[in-house]
Structure 1
Amino acid sequence: MNTPKSEWPSSLDDRELEELDTYLRAHGSDGDLMLDGVHGLLSAVAIGPLEVKPEEWLHEVLHDAFENENEGNRVLELLAKLNDSISAELDVDAYEPILGEIDTEEGPLLSAAGWCEGFSRGIDMRAQLWETRLAEDPTLMQLLGPIMALAVDEGVLQADAEFEKLTDDEYDECLGQLPEVLNAVGDYWRESPPTEAELQALTRPRVEGEDGPPRQRSGHWVH
């Protein structure tokens, strides 16, 4: 796709990505999202059924007070730029997921585990809408297929039935489908936005004891 340079999204360059990655690693602990996870979370937020404001998703990303105002402004600037770049990149077919790296006997290997974990947490930001629609409309589940396959393969999502590990080619194929999947899911929610009943359910007070077991989807997003 030939996109004029003036319309090309302003994404983080390698230096900015490394700067943000360094900050997240220095201030993160077990279970906190690193750069790949933040990218997954913001990707889910970008294509989701209802706006998630920065003051909501920032709680999933930042856990320590900033050392000073300059550090705070810089980190928030980088996160805002990362967030804004996702929709822009999807619009011009320039989206690429940020992947983590794991050490194997054969050497370093790229992994979608962190991205999938972040994506699951992005879904959880509007869990009730996603869960209701996934239960009622198999189309949405089908669209999410490649992401779910990666998430199950990486142990982020638990499958109800026995699941055979993806081959390297299948794994790469699912990764290659992510931009298409995100655009398709984004289109789905634009064309079939939350109904009035679904939105009203968001504000309905929960009955005591109603929470029950952890929320589940057709597979179970596990953290």
Structure 2
Amino acid sequence: MNTPKSEWPSSLDDEELRELDTYLRKHGNEGDLMLDGVHGLLSAIAVGPLQIKPEEWLHEVLHDAFEDEGEGNRVLALLAKLNDSVSAELDVEAYEPILGEIDTDEGPLLSAGGWCEGFSRGIDMRAALWESRLAEDPDLMQLLGPVMALAVDEGVLQADAEFEKLSDEEYDECLGQLPEVLSAVAEYWEAKPPTEDELKAMVRPRDGGGDDHPPRQRSGHWVH
């Protein structure tokens, strides 16, 4: 499907992107998500198995109290628009990941590292469900292959075995596949929604007994 640009959904324009980026940089600390990471987070949520409401994912994005009500309303409106645009852009095949920029000896270079970090955190918000399904269904792992290759290449995830860095061509190929990957993952969860057993496992209360496990660390699996 080739949707004319005039019919694309309402997404943040360049000025709005700069405005949101400036706010996140001003209020972000080391390890916090910047604009590219927020886009990755919202992308994972959009194609995931369960709805995640803004009051939950906003804790991954905003860490400081707003200086005034007007600023707060503006930032929340921009984030809502960014969130809505992800699914809408995927629907009309107009999705493009927001990438960060890193300095190299050869000059600035676009990087998917921040986007991948955000995507990983989006998956982690329903970690038990994703991990269970990835372990049981190799089809889902295969669908996520390009995302995982980028994440390992950028050091967001650790590989079980020695991993050879992607060539520039391979890196660009993985980037180009992201819209198709996200659409395929969304279709996967629509066709194979969480089972009752998987949902029960998510809400099983912790009793402090010996069956509890510590939080997962990055160790070559998708979730950390």
* 2: CA distance, partners of 1:111 / 1:141: 23
Matched, 1:201 2:201: yes
d(CA) in 1 for partners of 2:74, 2:58 = 14
Match in the other structure for 1:99: 99
Q: Is the 8 A contact 2:123 2:223 kept in 1?
A: no
Does structure 1 conserve the Cα–Cα contact (< 8 Å) formed by 2:147 and 2:178? yes
Residue 166 of structure 1 corresponds to which residue in structure 2? 166
Match of residue 64 from structure 1:
64
Give the paired residue count. 223
Question: Does residue 191 of structure 2 align to residue 191 of structure 1?
Answer: yes
Q: How big is the alpha-carbon RMSD for the aligned residues of Structure 1 and Structure 2?
A: 1.6
* Equivalent pair of 2:100/2:111 in contact (CA under 8 Å): yes
Q: Against the structure 1 CA distance between its residues 13 and 220, is the aligned structure 2 distance closer, same or farther, given a 3 Å change threshold?
A: same
Cα deviation for residue 105 of structure 1 reads: 0.2
Instruction: State the partner residue of 1:130.
Output: 130
Alpha-carbon separation, structure 2, partners of 1:199 and 1:218: 25
Kindly indicate whether the alpha-carbon contact (under 8 Å) linking 1:135 and 1:218 is maintained by their aligned counterparts in 2. no
**1:220 alignment partner in structure 2:** 221
**1:88-145 deviations in Å (ceiling 9; x for gaps):** 0001110000000000000000000000000000001111110110011000000000
CA shift at 1:200, angstroms? Answer: 1.1
Partner in structure 2 of residue 39 of structure 1? 39
1:95, 1:179 within 8 Å by CA — same for their partners in 2?
Answer: yes
Structure 1 range deviating more: 61-70 or 2-11: 2-11
C-alpha deviations, 1:158-181, integer Å up to 9, x for none?
Answer: 000110000000000000000000
| Secondary structure class of the residue paired with 2:109 | strand
For residue 183 of structure 2, what is the amino acid of its counterpart?
N
Gaps of 5+ in 2: none
Taking every aligned residue pair, what percent have the same amino acid on both sides?
84
Deviations 1:171-200 (A, max 9, x none): 000000000000000000000000011111
- For the 8 Å contact 2:158–2:220, the answer to whether it is kept is yes
SS state at 1:110 partner:
strand
Distance 1:166 1:50 in 2: 32
Task: Decide whether the 8 Å contact of 1:158 with 1:222 is kept in 2.
Answer: no
What is aligned with 1:113? Answer: 113
Aligned residue in 1 for 2:23? 23
Output the CA distance in 2 between the equivalents of 1:101 and 1:217.
Answer: 24
Note the 1:176-187 alignment, pairs <5 A: 176-187=176-187
Tell me the distance in 1 between the aligned counterparts of 2:77 and 2:27: 17
Taking a change above 3 Å as real, the CA distance of residues 101 and 220 of structure 1, as seen in their structure-2 partners, is: same
Using the size of structure 1 for normalisation, the TM-score is: 0.95
Query: Is the CA contact (8 Å cut-off) linking 1:156 and 1:222 kept in structure 2?
Result: no
Query: Paired residue for 1:52?
Result: 52
The 1:6/1:112 distance shift into structure 2, 3 A limit, reads closer
